[in-house]
A and B are shown apart, each in its own frame.
Chain A
Amino acid sequence: MPDNVVPDRIENVPIQLKVNGKSCSRTIEPRKLLVELLREDLDLTGTHVGCDTTYCGACTVLMNGAAVKSCTVFAVQADGADILTVEGLEKDGELHPIQKAFGDCYGLQCGYCTPGLMLSALQLLSRNKQPNEKEMRKSIAGNTCRCTGYQNILKAIQMAAQNMKGA
């Protein structure tokens, strides 16, 4: 079908999901992307839109514990899912060890890619308590940072791994 023909009567779809531990229900247009649901409907603007083409990973969130690019998941697909965004990392006013480590190691400069990187790091550290350098590099290969050159990001992940031991 050509691009300019809009099919009539698109039915909106009711969804229910958990975002950062809180249940929420919405009725949404099927073409709405998960990142837009988070940013525009739920006001969680910590998840960033970078390239919007499945490259840069700035929009990375955890979906049922797995890192996904939220610009490449329709919100309707997150029905029933457990979503974790950067806003859900801190607990009771305490920064998450990964957030603290990114600060302490200067693992960021402009900060645009940081939320996505921290969630990729969280997937890694929740499955591998003591990753080696190769495993760390592989875990963030889908997150582009144009400022840091990645060295301090790797240091931050390593420090977070240390500080999360026994957690």
Chain B
Amino acid sequence: MYPRAFHYHRAGSLKEAAAMLVQLGDDAKLLAGGQSLIPLMKLRFANPAHLVDLNFVSGTSYIREDNGAIRLGSLTRHAEIEASAAVARIPILHDCAAGIADVQVRNRGTIGGSLAEADPSGDWATVLFTLSTEVRCLGGTGERAVPLSDFIKDAYTTALAHDELVSEVAVKIPPKGSGGAYLAFKRSAPVYPTASAAVQLTMDRDVCQDAAIALGCVGLVPIRAKDAETALRGQTLSEKTIARAMAAARAASDPQSDMRGSADYKRALVEALVKRAIQIAVRRAHGEQVEVSHIYA
């Protein structure tokens, strides 16, 4: 399948790419990893007249620890994040990077592209909602840092202006005693998850000091399950408190019935994923090494 014909432009720097967007107008799109955009273009759901290729810009793929944060260049591939020792210290990030689609897609797809696309079924935004995350947006007038919760506006809609692009994603390193887990349920590796749950807990022995819970694929944007967080915060984590959080997460989810499952099925899935993610997050908060990733049916 061929996409509609387009003009190809190769950016030498991110600044130049932003300038090209201004010059080329509304019919221009950025090409990062291309693992969503190219399929959409082949199906002719997306028909840009101009593509600005970011893949030849040097210095855009990096993972740096700096000032209590991990900074990821926008063109950092999922596979590079999966292999990073710095990221391994924040297991929830590794869970996400190692489970997105399959090897081939992870070799190409980028964290900046994933956030900028804001697909309701994407993985990164859901995970990063549970950590303190800033998205750096570069445009003609300079660079600004946007908290992730302000960056994601709606399905496929972000705070990026037409002449802006994502330059970096900065994730605050969680405090000691904090552990997290991301579980996504998929029918097979290459497809989007049916539902996903990200849980980050800060524990003081058996008591949960702080909790962040986000749900993916069950709304137009990732859903912060605030009532579920409240159900855990300040509590000793027993089966009862976890059950309360599960019920609150289920109530917070807003899934649609589609080919991946009925709305009811997805609500049940949310409960189960939240339960498992809490259990793994607690074990990790206590220093245990637990390997998890996306679950296939």
Contacts and interface: CB of A to CB of B under 8 A. Distances in A.
A2 to B, nearest CB: 7
A32 B1 CA distance: 10
Given A72-B39, A77-B55, A142-B105, A30 B6 contact: yes
Nearest to B4: A3
A68 B35 CA distance: 10
A80 B76 CA distance: 19
Contact of B49 (A7, A33, A73): A7
A68 B42 CA distance: 17
B34 A1 contact: no
Interface stretch (A48-56, A96-104, A153-161): A48-56
Contact of A76 (B47, B53, B101, B103): B53
A72 to B, nearest CB: 5
A115 interface: no
Interface residues of A, number: 40
Contacts of A33: 2, 38
B5 A69 contact: no
Majority SS at the chain A contact face? loop
Contacts of B2: 31-33, 36
Contact of A29 (B5, B39, B56, B188): B5
Contacts of A29: 5
A29 B7 CA distance: 9
A45 interface: no
Contacts of B39: 53-54, 72
Contacts of A150: none
A85 interface: no
A66 B5 CA distance: 28
A31 B108 contact: no
A160 to B, nearest CB: 17
Contact of B8 (A3, A69, A76): A76
B104 interface: yes
Contacts of B8: 11, 13, 30, 74, 76
A147 interface: no
Contact of A31 (B5, B43, B55, B101): B5
A152 interface: no
A139 B103 contact: yes
A2 B47 contact: yes
Contacts of A110: none
B294 to A, nearest CB: 10
B34 A67 contact: no
B102 interface: yes
A72 B2 CA distance: 11
B51 A142 contact: no
Contact of B27 (A1, A36, A141): A1
B3 A31 contact: yes
Nearest to A123: B103
A2 B27 CA distance: 11
A23 B32 CA distance: 26
Interface in A4-39: 6-7, 10-11, 13, 29-33, 36
A91 interface: no
A49 to B, nearest CB: 9
A11 B10 CA distance: 13
A72 B190 contact: no
B104 A69 contact: yes
Contacts of B35: 54, 72
A109 B41 CA distance: 33
6 contacts: A1-B27, A1-B47, A6-B5, A33-B2, A68-B104, A68-B108
Interface of B: 1-8, 10, 27, 31, 34-35, 38-39, 41-44, 47-49, 51, 53, 55-56, 79, 101-105, 107-108, 188-191, 296
Nearest 7 Cβ contacts at the A-B interface: A142-B102, A141-B189, A30-B8, A66-B107, A142-B104, A69-B104, A141-B102
Given A63-B107, A72-B105, 20 more contacts: A1-B4, A1-B49, A3-B4, A6-B4, A10-B6, A11-B7, A11-B8, A30-B5, A33-B38, A54-B105, A55-B191, A66-B79, A67-B104, A69-B105, A72-B104, A73-B34, A74-B34, A142-B102, A142-B105, A142-B189
